[in-house]
Structure 1
Amino acid sequence: MRPGLYGRWALRPTFTLYRMPIKMDFYFSTEDNKLRQRINTFSISLNPEQLLLEYIKVPKFILAFKNIGIGNVTPIHSPYTLQGIGVKGFAFQFTPWKFFIAYADGEVARPTPCSSGRPAVFERKLRSVRLGVGKTAAAHFHFLYLEGADDPNSVPKCQDSSSISYPYDNKVVGLDANLSLFKRRLNTSVQLFASVTNNLASAPIDREYVEQVPDFLYNWVQPHFDIKVGVAGELKSTYRHRTGDVSMSYKFISPGYNTFGNPSLKADREGIEIKVAQRIGRELSIRGRLSQYTSNVFNVDKTTYYDQRIGIGISLHKPEVPVVVFNINAAFRFGKKGGNTISYSHVQAFSISFNHTVSTTNPTVLGLTYTYNESVSQRPYDKPTSYSHAGIFSMTKRLFDRFYLTNMLTITEYYVAASGHTTIFSLEVANSYKVRKNFTIDSRVNLSKQNEIKVIETGVASVIKMGKYGTLVFNIGGKRCVNSKKLSNFKLTTTYSLSW
């Protein structure tokens, strides 16, 4: 739970060493404590390729390092091994000549004891590697490997039987190959992976019970009685032409597949996805997406779930007429058991926006946006329905050489079957004033009303550019909720960023 009073501080300096830019990122919050996962972070990253922009002659060996990160880093190797998770350690990407090497090693979860019905989290470390021939965006053949394990002794034993958690280890091995033809217009890629996950709290399987398994495989897996084995694969083909591209992909992930490097990866899924992007002339562009996924890929469960998504986007950019952007997205999910539909839900969203610049000498930009969202869920025992409308009108006007004024009016209506209608009115006035060449002050005031609750929100930001000494940004904001009866509170937040 967030404390009533807390502070956050961010520092992001950049300095050069032998003309090589070195970036540092430091984030500190008083909310960080030993009962939750890490919030405070610190990292150092280097990008030797930046030296090319300075026209500096450096050894090719140094330029082969695309990036180097130390501290809290977020490397990306593959959705099936390592992607979207922070690693406290180090990572680098090295591409000498035609070869590709990416490596990451560190901690992905710090130990937190169980408390108040919340299960304990063991200290978890992993290492991941991707190596092969060719770059990821071109023709390549790469081998990928990941291994990670929890430390069973990193947290004390939990006495609460409802909050028991178990330590695991995880190993993933796979291949990623991509073939480019017709001057990279046609790309076909294949990815194949296998994973093994052991519950370390269960007993190991003695060698005599699995004599038919080769020694090298037994020593690598070190199987326990509670073990999960899974496979995953993806086949994708993309065709790019002068005015657009088309891609099709097929994905398969078995129920037992797991990777410590991507907790958001969903297992037990199979499906196809089609994407189309087409530009017509210089003014009109169209995008489309269609996908369908199913669960229960081995047909061992009694219930199978189907997920379908469709999306269309149209953009029109024509001189002297409003810029029009149209988007519609829909998602459907239903479950079947024994041929009968037992659950159904869908979410759909529609939005259209217009933006127009009235004058170029003394510009006035007008914007109008309308969005509609609907969610429907139907089951034999209840049928909740909700939807929302939102209309936004904005106007940005330059009043003087250094002063810009923006007005924004938002009207939103929510409907939930359980609580009925809720209407929110919001009016925001923002301005930007350039005091001097290197000093700008931005401020805003937002007034909103939701039923009987009135909210006043203000904010001021100062931006000071100090040339070679960097840029200083200071933000301060306040929010006051005034209930017509008795509710009243105030919050103040500040952030600080410095770079040089």
Structure 2
Amino acid sequence: MIILKQPPPLSFKLEDMWKITLNNSSQQTYRVQLRGVATEVSEGFIADAVTGTFTLHPGVKVVTAADIKPIKVNQTNPKYEDVVKNVGTVPSGSYDICVYAIDAETGIELASDCIFTEVLNLSQVELLSPEDNFSLSLGDDIKQSTETKYELYNTRSAQQIMFSWMPPTPVSAGQRVTYRLKIAQMYQMQSAYDAMQSNPLYYSIHNLMTTIYQYPIAARPLSGGSFAWQVEAFVNGVLMSTSEVWQINSGKETSPVTNLEKLKFMKKYWALNDGTYNSTGSENQTKKKPLMFAFNSKLYGETANRSGTGSDKEPQYGYWEINPSIALYGLPFSAPMLFSSENSGSRQSINTLNLSLDAQVIKDFIMEKVEREKDKLLEKGNKEFSSLNDKQKDKLETDAKRKVSSKLHPILKLMSSFRSLGIGTSYPDYTPLTVRGVPLTGVNIELNPGLLYLAFGGFKNQKPIDNESFRRDIYTGRLGIGQKDGSHFYFTGMFAKDDENSITLDPSNQTLTPKANYLFGMEGKLELFRKKLSLEGEIAGAMLTRDTRDADLENDAIPSWVKNMVHPKISSSVDYSYTLKGIFNNEKSATKVTAGMRMLGPGYTSLGIPNLSTDKLEAKSKVEQKLSNKQISLSGELLWYRDNLIDWKRFTTFVTRFSINAGFRFKGMPSVNILFAPTFMTNNAVTGSSDKLDNKFFVTSVYTGHAYKLKNINMYSSISYFMNSSSNLDSIITENVSVHNLMFSQSVGFTFPLNISGSFSMSFAMYPGEYSRILAGDISADYTLFELVNSFIGFGTAYEKQSNKKNTFYIGVSLGYERYFIFEVRAEKNLYHSWQDNTTNYDEFMLKGIVTTGL
């Protein structure tokens, strides 16, 4: 008797065909071979494969990879051959999967079993707003006259943040789609992906029915740092699609020791003023300090009588960020460290340590010498730089670099060849298709002397956690010619592998398997016309083995040398991706034009960029223009893509998105910024059918702000409007959703050290069968005494009609002297009441403290 294990809901991989239990109820021992056949209800035959021969003794036997290897795929339906090869699954549809046990000696069928399963292949969730790396502050180019340097003094309780995304497609009518929004706070040098894997969720919510969500007033505000966010989609309660991880920035963060300060160390040691290193003269030699040291650190602690609404963070927690900078014999190094009480054995590690060379500081030091040398050459030739033609400017640059290089100390010349050199936890940044944003604990080296480029990184990527993750090691490498920031051509390789013996895995866990990933790519860049024109391209191929424990794959079409190198299994799939891009940048006319395309294969997977959105053929262009001495900024962007590149989904989805952005920054006038960004999503289903997709998403924002004086009082006023809406006609959402937010802000700075600021916002949201109106406001004041003591006090309130309300009162004080020592403490009282669900009411008291030190 054969018992074929049912695969996970709405999915089927080829390896699922061999998850079998055999029961030999006779007393006879057989030599057995298994044959598996997949057929689709409407399309018929899909694939046929046979295993190796193994011995079946009397009794019950759970078939393992060692029993059935190698597996040979005899034939596949030509229509779906690419689906099987590239993705390792079958197209969306209804399938009968049958497995037969055959006596290898007689060819007689001994037993069989068939199961029926539904397969649904979907696109990934695509995030829309806030865009990646979006800043919730007013922007670097608009500074409030009352800006404070303290971290715990943040007031923007009136600000309402909206998240939006596009649904996975195509989903059949009648299937229930829900979403989970996840937000994680980021620490120190963490990438957004690392924060999502390692940190407790700052906020999360399940069972969302729409693709627009307004951050609730009951949750703690997103302020005081950076946050990672991600959306998961569930169909009938089964996780089917996960978005990429994006980052949003809000509020002030502790800055590490700046490159300018590190540059001072190098100047002291290498004596920049005379243009040479200190190799002669006893007076200069005595001034050398072999070790110079600077650091910033931030010790944060928080205690409350409850965890935040929707948060996994403990009521009491703390962390310590340390950012030391060391100049060792004139060479700058950084050693950032992070220690957190939130570090947990059930998640990836938060605590990190890194020691790395500050390669950019060395580059800045040398380029400063080059600029000084250029000035000397111009002075010697009695010429002005503006009078030179392009050819003369190139010669001046080359001559200055050659002269500086000839004088450069051999140690500096050697160390300037490194793009990166570090040990500990780092985040290698290779290319958008290969390695970016994943943590590697080990070494990270990039060396670029002259035309040679060499890079290597590894080792540990994730730690083993029972039933959560296997120990994973990643090894990365690059080799090529050319400078990384100029014309070049590089080869890239990556190998990732999970240790299948690193954890104890529950037998019922069908989703977690040990993986292996091989990747090879080529990437190049060509700069022309004094870098006005740049042509870039990349192509990469990858093989993912979803379960390294599976049987070997026997396929005559695979060369033996390939089999020996990458060891393909029945769960292995292969695909490729490529990108092409051209950039025209004319600094004289302040014009920049970018155009490109990329193809991301549906089965392309790099464990160096998890959650990369694939199955896309995409074209993108952008035009940026500055006018009136850069006081006017105009930009327009157009994006188009389609999915279903190998006909494995029920329908093909098409997305068109464009955005128009205009900014006006005239001296003495209010600044204005306008954004309009619509997105259109449709598919090739028959018009009028329940499968037809016709979704429209709109993002509009208008901002204006002005800093001015009334007599001797500094004033700053701003008004912002934000609209996020979706108009849908599909099987997922059949009603419109829209959210509008209007906010007024005002700050006042007096001639004496008192600042007062306040804001008021109105938010209106329309969901299917539901209407929401939120009124929110806050007012705060801070007073500075002797430039050493800063005290602040504030009150905020938010009211959602017939739903809930929240009142916040806070008071705090900061003591410190410049950057050397700052102590901050803030006490906060929050009262929340819901008229719809009294169980969510809370009376919250929070106490936050920060000790910031610098040297």
Same-fold status (TM-score > 0.5): yes
Change (3 A) 1:388 1:182: same
Q: How big is the shift at 1:13?
A: 2.7
Residues 71 and 90 in structure 1, CA contact (< 8 A), matched pair in contact too: yes
Residue of 669, 678, 682 corresponding to 1:321: 669
Q: How big is the shift at 1:426?
A: 2.1
Residue matched to 2:790:
441
- CA separation in 2, counterparts of 1:477 and 1:99? 56
Residue of 27, 34, 37 corresponding to 2:348: 37
1:340-489 alignment to 2 at 5 Å?
Answer: 342-359=692-709, 362-380=713-731, 382-431=733-782, 433=784, 435-436=786-787, 439=788, 441=790, 443=792, 445-451=794-800, 452-458=804-810, 460=812, 462=814, 464-465=816-817, 470-472=820-822, 474=824, 476=826, 478-483=828-833, 487-489=842-844
- CA separation in 1, counterparts of 2:334 and 2:353? 11
Residues 158 and 164 in structure 1, CA contact (< 8 A), matched pair in contact too: no
Q: How big is the shift at 1:338?
A: 5.6
- CA separation in 1, counterparts of 2:627 and 2:818? 45
Moved over 6 A (4+): none
Change (3 A) 1:110 1:408: same
Residues 14 and 21 in structure 1, CA contact (< 8 A), matched pair in contact too: no
Residues 8 and 27 in structure 1, CA contact (< 8 A), matched pair in contact too: no
- CA separation in 2, counterparts of 1:130 and 1:463? 49
1:1-20 alignment to 2 at 5 Å?
Answer: 2-16=312-326, 17-20=328-331
2:580 counterpart letter in structure 1: L
Residue matched to 2:505:
157
Residue matched to 2:595:
248
- CA separation in 2, counterparts of 1:440 and 1:20? 37
Are 1:491 and 2:836 an aligned pair?
A: no
Change (3 A) 1:97 1:368: same
2:702 counterpart letter in structure 1: I
Residues 114-171 of structure 1, C-alpha deviation per residue, up to 9 Å, x if partnerless? 2xxxxx311111011223222333211111111101111111021334x541111001
Residue of 418, 425, 429 corresponding to 1:65: 418
Are 1:92 and 2:445 an aligned pair?
A: yes
- CA separation in 2, counterparts of 1:23 and 1:461? 31
Residue matched to 1:228:
573
Residues 12 and 23 in structure 1, CA contact (< 8 A), matched pair in contact too: no
Change (3 A) 1:343 1:410: same
SS at match of 2:563: helix
Residue matched to 1:117:
none
Residue of 280, 286, 304 corresponding to 2:634: 286
Please say which structure displays the higher CA radius of gyration: 2
- CA separation in 2, counterparts of 1:234 and 1:310? 20
SS at match of 2:682: strand
Q: TM-score, normalised on structure 2?
A: 0.54
2:754 counterpart letter in structure 1: F
SS at match of 1:59: helix
Residue matched to 1:148:
496
Identity, % of aligned pairs?
Answer: 18
Residues 217-264 of structure 1, C-alpha deviation per residue, up to 9 Å, x if partnerless? 222211111111010001111111231111111100111100001113
Query: What's the RMSD between the two structures over aligned residues?
Result: 2.7
1:25 counterpart letter in structure 2: P
Residues 240 and 246 in structure 1, CA contact (< 8 A), matched pair in contact too: yes
- CA separation in 2, counterparts of 1:104 and 1:18? 26
Residues 245 and 278 in structure 1, CA contact (< 8 A), matched pair in contact too: yes
Residues 372 and 390 in structure 1, CA contact (< 8 A), matched pair in contact too: yes
Change (3 A) 1:366 1:381: closer
- CA separation in 1, counterparts of 2:417 and 2:435? 22
SS at match of 1:10: strand
- Provide the aligned length of Structure 1 versus Structure 2: 488
Residue of 517, 526, 529 corresponding to 1:179: 526
Residues 402 and 435 in structure 1, CA contact (< 8 A), matched pair in contact too: no
Change (3 A) 1:423 1:48: closer
Residue matched to 2:113:
none
SS at match of 1:203: coil
Q: How big is the shift at 1:495?
A: 4.3
Q: How big is the shift at 1:277?
A: 0.3
Residue matched to 2:561:
216
Residues 25-84 of structure 1, C-alpha deviation per residue, up to 9 Å, x if partnerless? 332333322222222333233204425549795530012223333322222101111112
Moved more, 285-294 or 46-55: 46-55
Residues 310-354 of structure 1, C-alpha deviation per residue, up to 9 Å, x if partnerless? 111101111222111111122232333367653333321111111
SS at match of 1:278: strand
Residue of 260, 265, 268 corresponding to 2:612: 265
Change (3 A) 1:362 1:425: closer
Change (3 A) 1:227 1:72: same
- CA separation in 1, counterparts of 2:833 and 2:701? 32
- CA separation in 2, counterparts of 1:303 and 1:483? 46
Q: TM-score, normalised on structure 1?
A: 0.89
Change (3 A) 1:307 1:477: farther
SS at match of 1:251: strand
- CA separation in 1, counterparts of 2:454 and 2:357? 16
Are 1:237 and 2:560 an aligned pair?
A: no
- CA separation in 2, counterparts of 1:4 and 1:14? 29
- CA separation in 2, counterparts of 1:426 and 1:321? 26
2:684 counterpart letter in structure 1: K
Residues 113 and 156 in structure 1, CA contact (< 8 A), matched pair in contact too: yes
Greater RCO (CA < 8 Å, at least 6 residues apart)? 2
Residue matched to 1:81:
434
Residues 724 and 739 in structure 2, CA contact (< 8 A), matched pair in contact too: yes
SS at match of 1:126: strand
- CA separation in 1, counterparts of 2:686 and 2:774? 43
Query: Structure 2: where are the runs of 5+ without partners?
Result: 1-199, 201-311, 370-407
Change (3 A) 1:61 1:381: closer
SS at match of 1:303: coil
Residue matched to 1:193:
540
Moved more, 72-81 or 402-411: 402-411
Change (3 A) 1:494 1:112: farther
Q: How big is the shift at 1:296?
A: 0.6
Residue matched to 1:104:
457
- CA separation in 2, counterparts of 1:122 and 1:231? 26
Residues 392-444 of structure 1, C-alpha deviation per residue, up to 9 Å, x if partnerless? 222222213433332222222222224322313122324363632xx363635
SS at match of 1:415: strand
Structure number with higher strand proportion: 1
Residues 11 and 496 in structure 1, CA contact (< 8 A), matched pair in contact too: no
